[in-house]
Amino acid sequence: MIALLLMPLVLPWALAPLARRTVEKVRPEIALWAITCATAALAVGVMASLGALLLPLALALPPVGALAELVRPLAVGPRSLVLGVSVLATGALALAAHHILRKAAREVTRLRAAQARVAHLPDAGGLCVLDDPRPDAYALPGGPRRPDRIVVTSGMLRALGPVEREALLAHERAHLAAKHHLFLSAAHLAGWCHPALAAVAAHVSFAAERAADEAAARRCGDRTLAARAVGRAALAASRTAGSAGSAGAPTVAPGAAGGPVPARVRALLAPTPVRRVVPALLAMALLCTAAGTSSLGGAVRLHHAIETAQGEHPSDRRPRCG
């Protein structure tokens, strides 16, 4: 039982190399969905396994054991080993919960600050220009009472030519149309659950940028123009990246200058990517299946052990008399 519940905690370390292979070989839209779904599935498996692993420690406490109507000790393996693993799982779950709450609160604060910064600006078809000499551009998600907006600084507009501006705006519109901020939110939330999944968030971000690049190239009808716009926007933004008073886009607001720009430019200058399935996609599916099966199998065995400790046989499903 312990081994089954520990497997979902180890398997996420195999996802990062698979994700890197996927973004290199698979069409960006497919890669974005596949990596995000795999990341979310593994994060759920991690949290479920940690929750199940803390039960032996909780049930070892007399008040909890009495509440669960245990009539004998829980038999799921060597007591010292089980309790040791349960203590570690409890600590890991507490740290993960604290990390998630702290990071989520910080991101919500940054998102609200960015929304408030442009709330008073004129909105021309979802586009608002922020008077800031530092070049920046990003797709800002809205909320129940706030519309989605494309935020571009005056510095970025001055750094690009007219046709490059159109490519930049097409890129940001693609982010909003495809709801890429939801993919980024899911990836970062999963990364806060497990350190191995934190590395995968960068691949999700890269896939989102590549998908928006391809949408901009189709919109402009010129892949070279889209590549030039991406390169010039990133170059302009990099010159002031460390300056104070930056426009400060939140993490979940994707921008045209984000991600590994040289790789994005090379991909745009290459032929249009072909939709194809590579072994990495199958490997990610198998990875998620293995994590889910292990977590479920461990939970079922733990449930049977609790029933036995309650004086029942796992196959005895008859209701007990009051």
pLDDT in tens, 166-220: 999 999 999 999 999 999 999 999 999 999 999 999 999 999 999 999 999 999 8
Cα-based angle 46, 47, 53 (whole degrees, multiple of 5): 90
User: What is the spatial distance between Cα 231 and Cα 166, in angstroms, rounded to a whole number?
Assistant: 14
Q: What is the DSSP letter of 129?
A: E
For the cut 60, the answer to whether the pLDDT of residue 315 exceeds it is: no
Count of CB atoms within 10 A of residue 80's CB?
8
In the prediction, which pLDDT does 319 show? 54
Listing DSSP states for 100-168 in one string gives HHHHHHHHHHHHHHHHHHHTTS--BTTEEEE--SS--EEEE---SSS--EEEEEHHHHHHS-HHHHHHH
pLDDT tens string 170-183 = 999 999 999 999 99
In sequence order, what are the beta bridge partners of 153? Answer: 130
In the prediction, which pLDDT does 248 show? 61
For the cut 50, the answer to whether the pLDDT of residue 291 exceeds it is: yes
pLDDT band at residue 105 under the 50/70/90 scheme = very high
Is the dihedral angle over the CA atoms 210, 215, 218, 223 positive or is it negative?
negative
In the prediction, which pLDDT does 121 show? 84
Spatial CA neighbour of 188 closest among 315, 120, 100, 261? 100
The beta strands (E) that lie in 84-226 are given as 127-130, 137-140, 149-153
Is the dihedral angle over the CA atoms 108, 154, 237, 139 positive or is it negative?
positive
Spatial CA neighbour of 216 closest among 159, 177, 260, 253? 177
Q: Which residue has the tokens 């509440």?
A: 67
pLDDT tens string 32-42 = 999 999 999 99
CB 148 within 8 A of CB 136: no
For the cut 80, the answer to whether the pLDDT of residue 76 exceeds it is: no
Structure-token pair, residue 187: 């990836």
In the prediction, which pLDDT does 276 show? 61
Is the dihedral angle over the CA atoms 87, 88, 90, 95 positive or is it negative?
positive
- Of 64-68, 125-129, 160-164, which gets the smallest average pLDDT? 64-68
Spatial CA neighbour of 208 closest among 42, 43, 37, 30? 30
Burial of 11 (0-12, 13-18, 19+ CB in 10 A): buried
For the cut 70, the answer to whether the pLDDT of residue 314 exceeds it is: no
- Of 6-10, 83-87, 286-290, which gets the smallest average pLDDT? 83-87
pLDDT band at residue 241 under the 50/70/90 scheme = low
Spatial CA neighbour of 37 closest among 148, 203, 177, 173? 203
Using CA atoms, how far residue 312 sits from 52, 57, 301, 304, 308, in Å, is 20, 21, 14, 9, 5
CB under 8 Å to 192, separation ≥6 — which residues?
Answer: 96, 99, 100, 103, 104, 198
Task: Tell me the pLDDT of the chain averaged across its residues.
Answer: 85
